[in-house]
Structures are given as C-alpha cells and as structure tokens.
Amino acid sequence: MQPGFRKRLLQWYQRHARSLPWRSKPEPYRVWVSEIMLQQTRVEAVREPFQRFMKRFPTVRKLAAADVEQVLEAWSGLGYYRRARMLHRAAQQIVELHKGRFPETREHALNLPGIGPYTAGAILSIAFDQPEPIVDGNVERVFSRLNAFGQDMKSVSGRNAVWQFATSHVQDGHAEGHSSSALNQALMELGATICTPSSPDCEACPVAMDCAARREGRVDQFPRVQPRAARRERTYHFLAVRDRRSRILLVRRPEADTSSLLPAGMWELPQADSAATAGIRIRATGTPATRKHAIMDYRLTLRVQPGVADGPIRPTSNRRWFTPEEAERAAIASATRKLLHALGRA
C-alpha cells in the first residue's frame, strides 16, 4: 500500500458510510445482535428485523429472560435459526457470568455461544474501539484485489494471509491514531458498496492508486477461489391440511430430530411420509404447489399438497391449528413461510 492508504480510506468512509440502524448507536448489545443477523444475510434484509428485534428485546437482560419460542418468533424470516438459539444462550451467559455486560476481552467473548473470531473482532473493534481484526467476504475480496493475491482465498495459507493483512491494517492504524472501529468498517464498506464481487466501481474507489489488480488490469481475476462443488438436491413432500375454519395444521419436530434439513424445533407443515403414522389423513382439494429453496449446500424441492382433514386431528403441544395471522407470527422457518405464501396465492 502507498503511504496515506488508511487516510484515503477513512476520509471516503466518513463521507459515504451508509446509514444503518445499528450504526447510529454502536453499543455492544446492538453491534452483537446486528453482526449475528448479518451472517449469511444481506444488509437490506436485516434492517427491518433488527429494529423489530430491538423493540422487543431492547437489552441483553430482556433477551436473556425471554422464552426461546419468543426469540425464534422475533427471528422469523431471517433463517439459520441456530443463530437465534445461540444468541439467546449467550445472552443468558452474559447475565449470569458478566453481570449483563458484554465481555471486553477476546478470550471471554470467544467463550460465548455463537461467537467466533469474526464476530468477536467485530464487537470488540466496533463497540469498544479495540484494534482487533475482522475478516469477512468483503475484506477477503478487497485484500485479494489490492494485493493481486494469487492464492486460493479459501485455502489455509490464503486465510492466514488475509488475517495477517487485517491485523496489521487495524494495528498499524491504531498506532497511527486512527479509530479501529472506523478502520474495520471502512474496509468492509468498501467491499460492500464499491469493490463488489462482479462489478467493482474502480473509478469511484478511494484506494484505486493502491490497487495492484487495477494497475495490472486484472481486477476480474481476483479473488482466486476453487470452484465450489455443485449443490446436492433433495425433495420433501408436505401436506397443507385445513380444518373447517380454514386454519392450517402445523407440527413441530423435537430439536434433536435431524430427519429433515429444515430447522428442527420450528413450526412446519407435516411431512407426507410421516403424516399417516401420526394419524394425519387428508382428502386432496387442489393441485400441489412446488417451490425451490436453498439451505446449506442443498437445493431443496418443496412440494405441498393442499387438502382437508379426513377424520379428527387432536391438537398436542407439538401439533395444532393456526389461523393465517397466527402462522405469520409463529416461529417458522423461511422454507415453510415460502410454502404458506405459495398456498395463499394458489
């Protein structure tokens, strides 16, 4: 990098940082919740759920005291529900072990459920302004282009090199008197808004003069990554059973039940192959609807057959009727939500 790299980056960040709800008050609890929500999820998809969640659980103590069911409801639509369960467990630990305050050391932060090196670095640098590095997909991409870095970014040596870069970026910057919070966020913001994966806007880039890939006219060759294996396929068949009042039947698999790739412990439509053994019989009333859904490394085909109950269905704690409004508010996975919306339109 040329002298003044960090100054150019920070000046640009001050002028162009997006206004995001968690940036307005970067308290540890807000930064932590936003970082967990942002994992595998786009910024735009997090804005509204973040504000809803903060209204419902404004403090770590309120979150720790809530039932897990309420937390999952508030998480509804964000997917990857394991994150919500871990967030809840971590909140309880923070109350029990740290008097309700997010720990200020990397070691203690890493002991909390759901906090890995990335999230620890994000919270410690953004909320506490500590010179801790952050590496996410944006940092990887910017780094790889700035240095015309030839290694596979997913290889061990590639990962180590990015962490080293991120560490010296924030530590040298700290020694120069810059804010660690701004340094980390500026690098990520550059990746999110200018140095984007498929169409980087090099003309508008504040650090174009530092960029080896641009100098060499090879921006499109970075970052280097091995092609991913094709996604595996799986098909699930569901029943959309309605009663005479047009309520829909939802069931809940126990958390330990891993028979499906959909998250356990959430309300979902009954699966066709286990419905009969659970005493659920239907009379089909329409043509099946089909939706595609991606989850982890799988491409799912979800088929749902609408029908009415053929015989009585007794509600239990893990099986009951939902009105459309109740289903909308319930702790359901995004795949189930997709199917319910498909049925609504059918």
Q: Tell me: does residue 214 bind ligand SF4 (CB under 6 A).
A: yes
Site size toward ligand SF4 (CB under 6 A) is: 14
Whether residue 35 lies in the annotated active site: yes
Tokens of 288: 């099946």
- Contact between residue 223 and residue 144 where contact means Cβ atoms under 8 Å apart: yes
Shortest distance in whole angstroms from residue 205 CB to ligand SF4: 3
Binding mask 270-309 toward ligand SF4 (x if CB under 6 A, else -) reads ----------------------------------------
Cβ closest to ligand SF4, residue 160 vs residue 196: 196
148: phi > 0 → left, psi -120 to 50 → alpha, else beta; which? left
Give the one residue of 219, 261, 272, 309 binding ligand SF4; rule: CB under 6 A. Answer: 219
Cβ closest to ligand SF4, residue 109 vs residue 195: 195
Q: Tell me: does residue 148 bind ligand SF4 (CB under 6 A).
A: no
Shortest distance in whole angstroms from residue 146 CB to ligand SF4: 5
Q: Tell me: does residue 249 bind ligand SF4 (CB under 6 A).
A: no
Cβ closest to ligand SF4, residue 146 vs residue 282: 146
User: Which span (23-31, 55-63, 173-181, 207-215) binds ligand SF4, by CB under 6 A?
Assistant: 207-215
Q: Tell me: does residue 186 bind ligand SF4 (CB under 6 A).
A: no
Q: Tell me: does residue 264 bind ligand SF4 (CB under 6 A).
A: no
Q: Of the residues 27, 35, 203, 233, which is catalytic?
A: 35
In which residue are the tokens 């702790």 written? 331
Cβ closest to ligand SF4, residue 5 vs residue 118: 5
151: number of Cβ within 10 Å: 17
Q: Is 338 exposed, middle or buried (0-12, 13-18, 19+ CB in 10 A)?
A: middle
Angle between helices 180-193 and 137-146 (to 10 degrees): 80
- Contact between residue 125 and residue 106 where contact means Cβ atoms under 8 Å apart: no
Give the one residue of 88, 145, 169, 253 binding ligand SF4; rule: CB under 6 A. Answer: 145
User: How far apart (Å, rounded) are the C-alpha atoms in residues 90 and 339?
Assistant: 32
137: number of Cβ within 10 Å: 13
- Contact between residue 179 and residue 126 where contact means Cβ atoms under 8 Å apart: no
Please report, as residue ranges, which positions from 59 to 118 form the binding site for ligand SF4 (by CB under 6 A): none
Give the three-class secondary structure for 24. helix
Give the one residue of 54, 146, 275, 302 binding ligand SF4; rule: CB under 6 A. Answer: 146
Q: Tell me: does residue 142 bind ligand SF4 (CB under 6 A).
A: yes
User: Which span (52-60, 160-168, 211-219, 247-255) binds ligand SF4, by CB under 6 A?
Assistant: 211-219
Binding mask 9-28 toward ligand SF4 (x if CB under 6 A, else -) reads --------------------
Cα dihedral angle (329, 332, 335, 337), rounded to 10 degrees? -20
Give the one residue of 195, 275, 327, 332 binding ligand SF4; rule: CB under 6 A. Answer: 195
- Contact between residue 280 and residue 241 where contact means Cβ atoms under 8 Å apart: yes
Within the chain, where are the H helices? 5-16, 21-24, 28-38, 43-56, 60-65, 68-75, 82-98, 106-110, 117-126, 137-146, 156-175, 180-193, 212-215, 272-275, 324-329, 334-345
Q: Tell me: does residue 207 bind ligand SF4 (CB under 6 A).
A: yes
Which residues, including other chains, have CB under 8 Å from residue 179's CB and lie 6 or more apart? 10, 129
Q: Tell me: does residue 194 bind ligand SF4 (CB under 6 A).
A: yes
Q: Tell me: does residue 166 bind ligand SF4 (CB under 6 A).
A: no
Active site residues: 35
Where on the chain is the footprint of ligand SF4 (CB under 6 A)? 142, 145-146, 194-195, 200, 202, 205, 207-208, 211, 213-214, 219
